[in-house]
Amino acid sequence: MRVPPGQGIQNLLMIMTQAGPSGRDWVRLRLSGPLQPKERPRQGMGRSYTSAKYRAWLASSKEALATQWEGRPPLERALIGIEFHGHGRSDVDNLSGAVLDAAVKAGVLVDDRCTRLPGAMTWWQPAPTGKQRTYLYLLPWWPPQKR
């Protein structure tokens, strides 16, 4: 059975919300365009680097997330959900890593370590070229981590 876009993750978000603090709402941020897996830095000429394609994707995603997040402080702790619409050729951990890197660089999240993100889930739906997109769902999680 095929789940309508957004319905599967909405059900999972509802379950996570019931387990979390009451009175909080999920925030949904959108990234348009092709899915981009996180790249491992490559070594060359005595330094590490990532491809120009990945750097360009990271810069545009950072700007898109920062624009949608404008005026809010970065979240110290959050539950997250990531909904991917696109091809199914990438590993979910690499897709998620790229989105989380963009969210940290955009000032949406303080960090993407496990201690900062106590709950996470992903959902994937096929989408044709030209209709690919990613949604990042965030639920502030309290109390903040004790240091």
**Is-above-0.85 flag for pTM?**
no
71 contact partners, CB below 8 Å, separation of at least 6 = none
> Quick count: other Cβ atoms within 10 Å of Cβ 83?
23
135 contact partners, CB below 8 Å, separation of at least 6 = 6, 9, 28, 29, 30, 31, 81, 82, 83
Contact 98, 57 (CB under 8 A): yes
Asked if residue 116 has pLDDT above 90, the reply is yes
Average pLDDT over residues 5-11: 61
Asked if residue 24 has pLDDT above 90, the reply is no
> Quick count: other Cβ atoms within 10 Å of Cβ 56?
11
